[in-house]
């Protein structure tokens, strides 16, 4: 398919400026980097995390008074899908020791560990078991397994990378358990990249002092997910998997302990009540909220459900204001939209260019600054390139890598990207790529301690839904480790709690009633209903033709 004739014409402008830009790069001259003051200015004006215009203070709940993106704030101030006073909580549909909400990497690890502790487990999935951001993680998983490394250095690298804003007991847990996670995955039969003697292949990642990134081809997360999911399928006697049945509300008991959840069968639209002695929240991140309209690397179900449910039950969030945007996500072709283009492309010398083929920024600013500069050029200056599907992008001039480092360099250094574009008729060693910042990771989330305890007895959290592990900036390879470390810890903690003797009293939704009372008292009119479960991509034209007003009137 390749570029359309219109886009090919625009590429000529890039080619026209290339000889001079390459000559400049050969002289080691760069487009000037911003001063600290200029950085702050562009961040404040154009970075979604900094811009004040789309942020506001949350007026209710445990984070009352904190400032979040409007999209996030609206979900924190949302109302329940059900009317609590009309639910008969004496009719229990399912009983279990442990209810795991979310069957990605964290929830699935938790389920296996809870079953090891002798517990019966239900995993409630919104989509299929394993549909998650875990499965999409390509790069690798950090763990200090080598002789020159130790959990001490993993801790230091992680907390330094997070600008020392991380929650330290979580970082300590991550660093300590990381090699244990790898050993566990190995014993389950996960194929790590290894040398002949069985030593794991390790690489550096941004911010690491030791080579610590173990991997499984360029589909590490997918390999983790398919192995642990397969293991769950071997444990049918202990673990029940429910698909297309997300939780929509937590249940507490009359003593305030967590005691289960309400599930919603999305296919038959039936609700059911699950009574559980412990609940593990593992619903993942929020990329599909498309904060400020950004495309995302996240899977279809990443809609912040767990944060919403836990918030109503009184669980505060940590670092939830912080989101990781990657400056160069794909905007063309359509099937790659939102997917990442590694920083390595710019590291090899590729310039970022506007519609006129001109440079407008230093290509290797910190990620947040670089993202802000791209947004400024496209949106404020109107110098972006419009794709046939109505997306805005800027050029990333990969062909100049060939001129700087010799023919064949692109293919050798960026094999996966080369194939990904070649499949759609674009040779990135000859034609530039169209890129724009993309929403990648929810840095914050619900508060837990190092053993995944929340402030509610019997409620645990693990994976992207929790906050504090990464502080305000996450290192590559720590998200997959976060998932396994805290998933396993959550399963173990829940198992210990239950084996210590738990008696569930009368079920209650009073926390939802009092939260909604708080909404009314704060004067929040017309709160949205949440969790929203799935994003809605219906076009305005289709919505208009659904005749909502006419149907309502009838």
Partner 1 sequence: MCDTQATQPEIKVATGDRAILPEGAKTIPIYVMGKKYEVPETLTIMKAMEFAGFKFLRGAGCRGGICGACPTVYRMAGDYKLHFGLACQTVVEADMYLAQIPFFPANRASFNINEMSAAADAIHALYPEIFRCVACNQCTKACPMDVKVLDYISATKQGEIAKAARISFDCIQCGLCSSRCLGEIPQYHVAQLARRIFARYIQPQAEHLRLRAEEIEAGKYDQMLDELSTMNTEDLESRYVNEREREPDMAAPGSWQPQDSRYL
Residue with tokens 């790529």: 433
Distance between CA atoms of residues 343 and 345, nearest Å: 5
Among 89, 386, 404, 522, binds partner 1 (CB under 8 A): 386
Q: How far is the CB of 526 from partner 1 (least distance, A)?
A: 22
Residue with tokens 């008969």: 88
C-alpha triplet 442, 443, 445: angle, nearest 5°: 80
Q: Does 267 bind partner 1 (CB under 8 A)?
A: yes
Distance between CA atoms of residues 476 and 340, nearest Å: 13
- Name the segment binding partner 1 (CB under 8 A); options: 20-28, 117-125, 220-228, 494-502: 220-228
Q: Does 338 bind partner 1 (CB under 8 A)?
A: yes
Residue with tokens 């299929």: 128
* CA 201 to each of CA 146, 152, 214: distance values in angstroms, whole numbers, following the listed order: 10, 20, 6
- Within residues 480-539, the interface with partner 1 by CB under 8 A covers 534-539
Shorter beta-carbon distance to partner 1: residue 189 or 523 = 189
Question: Positive or negative, the Cα torsion across 216, 221, 222, 227?
Answer: positive
Shorter beta-carbon distance to partner 1: residue 85 or 196 = 196
Among 11, 182, 263, 433, binds partner 1 (CB under 8 A): 182
Q: Does 219 bind partner 1 (CB under 8 A)?
A: yes
Q: Does 89 bind partner 1 (CB under 8 A)?
A: no
Shorter beta-carbon distance to partner 1: residue 151 or 327 = 151
Q: In what order do the strands lie in the sheet with 202-203?
A: 141-142, 213-214, 202-203
Candidates 139, 52, 48, 129; CA nearest to 371 is: 48
Shorter beta-carbon distance to partner 1: residue 222 or 457 = 222
Cβ neighbours of 391 (radius 10 Å)? 18
Among 75, 127, 251, 374, binds partner 1 (CB under 8 A): 127
CB 326 within 8 A of CB 440: yes
Q: Does 342 bind partner 1 (CB under 8 A)?
A: no
CB 256 within 8 A of CB 273: no
Candidates 52, 57, 51; CA nearest to 72 is: 57
- Within residues 47-76, the interface with partner 1 by CB under 8 A covers none
Q: Does 123 bind partner 1 (CB under 8 A)?
A: no
Q: How far is the CB of 318 from partner 1 (least distance, A)?
A: 16
- Within residues 222-261, the interface with partner 1 by CB under 8 A covers 222, 226-227, 230-231, 233-234, 236, 244
Among 257, 275, 391, 417, binds partner 1 (CB under 8 A): 391
Candidates 437, 460, 465; CA nearest to 450 is: 460
- Name the segment binding partner 1 (CB under 8 A); options: 84-92, 333-341, 463-471, 521-529: 333-341
Q: x/- contact string, 410-439, with partner 1 (CB under 8 A)?
A: -------------xx---------------
Q: How far is the CB of 374 from partner 1 (least distance, A)?
A: 14
Q: How far is the CB of 489 from partner 1 (least distance, A)?
A: 14
- Name the segment binding partner 1 (CB under 8 A); options: 95-103, 142-150, 311-319, 405-413: 142-150
Candidates 163, 167, 168, 131; CA nearest to 534 is: 131
Query: Which residues are CB-neighbours of 118 under 8 A, at least 6 positions away?
Result: 495, 499
C-alpha triplet 28, 416, 426: angle, nearest 5°: 80
Q: Does 157 bind partner 1 (CB under 8 A)?
A: yes
Helices (H), 406-502: 409-413, 415-422, 478-499
- Within residues 269-298, the interface with partner 1 by CB under 8 A covers 288, 290, 293-297
Catalytic residue among 39, 346, 489, 511: 346
Distance between CA atoms of residues 345 and 348, nearest Å: 5
**546 is an active site residue:** no
Q: What is the dihedral of CA 299, 305, 308, 309, to 10 degrees?
A: -160
Among 17, 59, 200, 240, binds partner 1 (CB under 8 A): 200
The secondary structure of the chain in percent helix, strand, coil, rounded to multiples of 5, reads: 35, 20, 45
Shorter beta-carbon distance to partner 1: residue 378 or 530 = 378
**312 is an active site residue:** no
Q: Does 194 bind partner 1 (CB under 8 A)?
A: yes
Shorter beta-carbon distance to partner 1: residue 81 or 534 = 534
Phi, psi of 153 (to 5 degrees): -75, -30
Q: How far is the CB of 172 from partner 1 (least distance, A)?
A: 4
- Name the segment binding partner 1 (CB under 8 A); options: 26-34, 145-153, 304-312, 504-512: 145-153
Q: How far is the CB of 381 from partner 1 (least distance, A)?
A: 12
Q: Does 380 bind partner 1 (CB under 8 A)?
A: no
Catalytic residue among 326, 367, 489, 511: 326
Shorter beta-carbon distance to partner 1: residue 335 or 514 = 335
Among 260, 333, 468, 471, binds partner 1 (CB under 8 A): 333
Q: Where are the beta strands (DSSP E) in 102-216?
A: 121-124, 141-142, 202-203, 213-214
Question: For the purposes of burial, counting CB atoms within 10 Å of the CB of 82, is it exposed (0-12), middle (13-18) or buried (19 or more)?
Answer: middle
Rounded to the nearest 10 degrees, the angle between the axes of helix 510-521 and helix 305-312 is: 90
Q: Does 169 bind partner 1 (CB under 8 A)?
A: yes
Shorter beta-carbon distance to partner 1: residue 199 or 505 = 199
Q: How far is the CB of 217 from partner 1 (least distance, A)?
A: 6
DSSP state of 453: B
Q: Does 334 bind partner 1 (CB under 8 A)?
A: yes
Q: How far is the CB of 268 from partner 1 (least distance, A)?
A: 11
Annotated active-site positions, please?
Answer: 326, 346
């Amino acid at each position: 398919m390749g570029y359309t004739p219109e886009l090919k014409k625009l590429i000529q402008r890039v080619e026209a400026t290339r000889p001079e830009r390459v000559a400049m790069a050969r002289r080691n001259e760069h487009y000037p980097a911003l001063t600290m003051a200029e950085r702050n200015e562009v961040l404040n004006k154009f970075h979604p995390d900094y811009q004040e215009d789309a942020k506001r203070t949350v007026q209710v709940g445990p984070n009352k008074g904190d400032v979040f993106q409007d999209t996030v704030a609206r979900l924190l101030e949302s109302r329940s899908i059900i009317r609590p006073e009309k639910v008969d909580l004496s009719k229990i549909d399912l009983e279990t020791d442990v209810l795991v909400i979310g069957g990605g990497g964290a929830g699935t690890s938790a389920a296996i560990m809870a079953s090891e502790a002798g517990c019966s487990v239900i995993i409630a999935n919104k989509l299929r078991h394993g549909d998650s951001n875990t499965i999409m993680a390509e790069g690798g998983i950090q763990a200090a397994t080598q002789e020159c490394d130790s959990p001490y250095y993993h801790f230091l690298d992680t907390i330094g990378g997070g600008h020392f804003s991380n929650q330290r007991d979580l970082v300590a847990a991550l660093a300590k358990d990381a090699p244990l996670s790898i050993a566990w995955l190995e014993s389950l039969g996960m194929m790590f990249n290894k040398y002949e003697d069985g030593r794991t292949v390790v690489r550096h990642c941004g911010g690491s002092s030791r080579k610590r990134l173990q991997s499984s081809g360029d589909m590490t997360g997918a390999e983790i997910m398919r192995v642990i999911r397969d293991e769950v399928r071997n444990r049918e006697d202990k673990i029940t998997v429910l698909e297309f049945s997300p939780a929509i509300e937590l249940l507490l008991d009359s003593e305030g302990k967590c005691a289960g959840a309400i599930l919603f069968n999305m296919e038959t639209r039936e609700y059911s009540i699950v009574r559980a002695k412990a609940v593990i929240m593992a619903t993942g991140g929020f990329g599909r909220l498309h904060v400020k309209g950004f495309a995302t690397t996240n899977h279809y179900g990443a809609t912040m459900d767990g944060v919403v449910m836990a918030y109503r039950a009184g669980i505060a969030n940590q670092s939830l204001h912080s989101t990781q945007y990657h400056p160069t996500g794909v905007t063309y072709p359509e099937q790659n939209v939102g997917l990442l283009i590694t920083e390595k492309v710019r590291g090899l010398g590729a310039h970022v260019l506007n519609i006129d083929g001109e440079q407008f920024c230093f290509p290797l600013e910190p990620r947040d600054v670089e993202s802000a500069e791209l947004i400024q050029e496209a949106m404020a200056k109107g110098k972006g390139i419009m794709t046939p599907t109505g997306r805005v992008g800027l050029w990333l001039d990969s062909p100049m890598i060939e001129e700087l480092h010799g023919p064949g360099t692109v293919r050798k250094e960026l094999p996966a990207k080369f194939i990904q574009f070649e499949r759609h008729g674009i040779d990135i060693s000859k034609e530039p790529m169209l890129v724009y910042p993309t929403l990648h990771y929810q840095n914050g989330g619900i508060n837990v301690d190092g053993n995944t305890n929340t402030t509610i007895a019997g409620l645990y959290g693990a994976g992207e839904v929790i906050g504090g592990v990464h502080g305000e900036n996450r290192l590559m390879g720590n998200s997959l480790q976060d998932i396994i470390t805290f998933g396993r810890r959550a399963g173990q903690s829940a198992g210990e709690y239950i084996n210590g003797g738990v008696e569930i009293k009368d079920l209650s939704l009073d926390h939802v009633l009092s939260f909604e009372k708080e909404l009314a008292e704060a004067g929040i009119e017309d709160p949205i209903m949440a969790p929203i479960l799935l994003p809605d991509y219906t076009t305005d034209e289709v919505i208009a033709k659904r005749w909502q007003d006419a149907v309502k009137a009838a």
